[in-house]
A and B are shown apart, each in its own frame.
Chain A
Amino acid sequence: MAEKIDLKELEKKAYKSTFQDGFWDIFIGMIFMAFALMPLGDVFELPEMIGMLLISLGWNIGAVVFMILGKKYVTVPRIGMIKFGPKRKADQRKVKIYLGINVLFGVVVLLLQMTGKFGFITVQRFALSILLGLFISLPFGVMAYFLDFPRLYIYALLGGLGFFLIDLFELFTSGPIALILVFGIIGGSIVIVGVIFLIKFLRKYPLPK
């Protein structure tokens, strides 16, 4: 055969095709945008923590639903479904376990914060930015590694940098504007990247007749 068949490359190509629809990018962008929407709780005059929780939870559930529906009604009819081998499955399992631990850790920290158990700890603003940045960058970085999804490294870095940028912006602004601007721009840019990928995907793979 004139064409050389590289089996590893073949598997990688099939695997990467699951990320070219842009839905992962849109999903991650929406998650970052959730931070920008948190201050909206004030608009509805909800208690601070509850408002933040309700809005970010609602928005994130929306992001998950959007991705699931997009994959089901846009991606699968165009490029079909592939069940990958044991290594990919094991990696995906690791991502799920790691994310589960992260969510659990996040919930515990949030509960402790809400009940005032962290009152005795004083953290410097800059140190808090590092902690929050790591809290975002680490899980996304680990996901990028196990999912073999390189764009996610950039998103992890952007998300982690967000809190530093907020600190910087807050030197010139007041109220939640910095948070809205920084995560609105980061999340929005990632969503735009996703939409571009989605448009390319729709052009490349029209619905089979």
Chain B
Amino acid sequence: MRRYIVRRFFISVVTVWTIATVCFFLLRLLPGNPFLSTTIMKQDMVDKMMRYYGLDKPLWQQYITYMGNLLRGDFGYSLKYAGRSVNYVIKSTFPTSAQLGMQALFFGIPTGTLLGIISAKRRGKELDYAFNALSVIGISVPSFIIAALLQYILGLKLGWFPVAQWKSFSHTILPTLTLSFGIIASHCRSMRTLMLEVDQQDYLKTARAKGLGETRIVFFHQIRNAIIPMITGLGTEIAGLLMGSYVVEKIFSIPGMGSYFVTSIQGLDYTMVLGLVVFQGTFVVFANFLVDILYVIVDPRIRIS
């Protein structure tokens, strides 16, 4: 077991390094450079800026310099926003995105799972249909539509919640709801499916035949077995949510990290993109690592050789 953990850890590190490398070179495939903007500059000015930032050096040399800095935890400075270090951007925006993501998760996952369990137990009845339909609606509507609708109805028309920005707890409610929609819906669906699958298993029939109470069956046997496949995707899901959502952050004017992902790629801000990607990559890879370990612990049947 321990050998497995050590090996997985090592592989995780290699994965992160691969992510950084692939991203580094992939970015350079895009034509253009960070200094092309609507302020027209002649080529010689652009060249001077490239030289100032060391972007005119041979690519492999830039790569080595970058990796060296990376090992020291230095993501460098943004190329588009002089003086703004990538570390600073991450430090300022990540807590906001993370808080939003976690709120959505802590609200969404239990709610969704619960609804899924209820839906499975009440299978065939009205409650099942209702939850079924609602959960499908929840994943059917693109998030910017949900966001706009919530903003319009709950924020503007009814005035229950602030429409945008990130200034107090009540400001977080609408964006959290928007994000939770999808989470609740997908977890409700998957939990219901898994519960139903497990439901027909022989060991449950045995338990029922033995005369065990339904509650005990549900909690001790059904849920635990159903949860295992759900854990698989949890790592990526959590990591993805903590990184912020461009759509939600844009519509609700939240100073999070999600928008930086998009704008830095659109602007070819190499250092910023790489910094964010490495940050996210580390998160995701290690989240998956933890989840895989959890998986093995929880389900003794699956021993990944």
| A complexed with B | no
